[in-house]
Structure 1
């Protein structure tokens, strides 16, 4: 079972870390940038299986013609108001 893994690396100093989720990686990136004024980059190394499936089912571009219409994750009809 794949997990989400995110690498965070500072362009201006030796700060580098890996995280098991997007929220913690984003918080670390924001904190380092705010505290130092440095430019920090992140790379998503892997995604949890459910996130990958949702992306595949939605289609790369998110357009209806690219989606997997048989997926329980895709609702092709917006709710009526």
Structure 2
């Protein structure tokens, strides 16, 4: 019983130490993830914006899945309104 208590304490201490170590890097990691997501969205919707996409065959089926996040993405990219003529989200 005593050994289980010590193991639980070390697990909890390890969790808090890891959280304290990772805390300063969370915003940088989130920013890098957002940039990767933005690039991926550009790749998926580039054909609709007139940019040739060599992977359009593979990304075409992803468009319906990403349409929900499209509005946030185009605003983050500095486009006030949707750049797609056939798709109005604003």
With normalisation by structure 1, the TM-score equals 0.26
> Which structure is higher in RCO with an 8 Å CA cutoff and minimum separation 6?
1
Larger radius of gyration: 2
